[in-house]
Amino acid sequence: MFQLFVFQFSFISGWTLLIKLCANHQLLFINLASGSRADGSLFPSLRKYLLVSSNTMDQFDNLADNRLIRGCIYCGGLPDTRDHVPSKCLLEQPYPTNLPVVGCCDSCNQSFSKDEQYFICLLESVLCGSTDPEKISRPSVRRIMEKSPALRQRIEKSKTEVNGQIAFIPEIERINNVMLKLARGHAAFELSQPCRNEPDHFWCSPLLLLSQEEQENFNAAHFPHVFGEVGSRNMQRLQVLQMTRLDENGKEQNIGMLFNDWIDVQDDRYRFLAIDDMGQIVIRIVIAEYFACEVAWGL
Ligand SMILES: [Zn+2]
């Protein structure tokens, strides 16, 4: 079914954007109805207007060379099981359809589960300001906290006070383990890139600790300079941005650009952006709109 959405925004003084969106074909037309300049400064702001652009959980077949991601995506061993990326424990029921899965070995699969459990319990404790299961808002996490008093106690012991506010001192290695696993999963599934070696860059933090400008850059859609693995799912997700503007003489000028937007796995719970600029891999993840992470290889 063909659908056309038209939105009109005035988000920069003197500018009006008329956005025509063809959902099925993922084409986006932006007409600059007024204004005289179209430069990169517009693009970091686009994400909030592009959220409606398409069902980003649409499933694509991997058309890249399958040999690239043979074996367990974490250790290269025999892939005797499959792993959801992201893990279901990071999401709420009902789970999104088309959750990505990657091949991995049983041993790797098992090795992450305790750290994932720790991470989701810590995150909810931070968001709710307490380890008391009755105060934990996610039902699935509340159940884990009720069934695992030792885990609850461990998190409770890490509780402290900073500037009069409740804070928890995280077990960094366990959190890094979870985030690196997620990043490797997205790189394999979306980019057809096995990233088993240690990353060249790893950063994670609450999103709010970034300045406003840093948050805008982090949250921006990505406009690739060069393209990554041909046929990868990420390449199939590329969207077209076409801008028409009037020059000083009133003549229309067309500018076309390709970009990858964030993939919203579940609203307000999990989103990520996968970037492959000719082998420079960057994965950005935001969990519960609170915890952010960036992992990169090949820089
Ligand atoms: Zn493995």
Interval between CA 181 and ligand 1 midpoint (Å): 11
141 CA from centroid of ligand 1 (Å): 26
* More confident: 51 or 207: 207
Going through the chain in order, the beta strands assigned E by DSSP cover 4-9, 17-22, 27-32, 81-84, 101-104, 159-162, 165-168, 201-206, 239-246, 252-259, 263-266, 270-277, 280-287, 291-297
- Provide the pLDDT for residue 141: 95
Average pLDDT over residues 201-224: 92
pLDDT of residue 214: 94
**Distance from Cα 77 to the centre of ligand 1, integer Å:** 5
Q: Please check the confidence at residue 34 and state whether its pLDDT lies above 50.
A: no
**Omega before 199 cis (within 30°)?**
no
Measure 48 CA to ligand 1 centroid, in angstroms: 38
- Kindly give the distance from the C-alpha atom of residue 175 to the centroid of ligand 1, in angstroms, as a whole number: 19
Per-residue pLDDT, averaged over 171-178, amounts to: 96
Q: What tokens were used for 213?
A: 């400008």
Tally of domains in the chain:
1
Query: How far is ligand 1, taken at its centre, from the CA of residue 109, in Å?
Result: 7
What average pLDDT does the structure give for the chain? 79
pLDDT of amino acid 279: 80
Reference 244, options 43, 41, 35, 48; nearest CA is: 35
Give me ligand 1 centre to Cα 69, in Å: 13
Residue 30's domain comprises 4-297
pLDDT digits (tens, 9 = 90+) for 62-99: 766 666 678 999 999 999 999 999 999 999 999 998 89
Query: From ligand 1's centre to the CA of 271, what distance in Å?
Result: 25
Highest averaged pLDDT of the listed ranges 70-74, 95-99, 115-119, 213-217:
115-119
pLDDT computed for residue 237 by the predictor: 75
Q: Ligand 1 center to residue 96 CA distance, Å? A: 26
Q: For residue 73, what are its two tokens?
A: 């995506």
106 Cα to the center of ligand 1, angstroms: 7
Examine the pLDDT at 269 and tell me if it is beyond 90.
yes
Quote the CA–CA distance of 216 and 141 in Å, as a whole number.
30
Specify the pTM.
0.78
Is the pLDDT reported for residue 107 higher than 90?
yes
Q: Environment class of residue 206 by beta-carbon count within 10 Å: exposed (0-12), middle (13-18) or buried (19+)? A: exposed
Distance 73 CA to ligand 1 centre (A): 7
Among 50-54, 214-218, 276-280, the minimum mean pLDDT is found in 50-54
If you measure from the C-alpha of residue 283 to the centroid of ligand 1, how many angstroms do you get, rounded to a whole number? 20
Residue 153, classed as helix, strand or coil, is helix
pLDDT of 255 reads 72
pLDDT at 189: 92
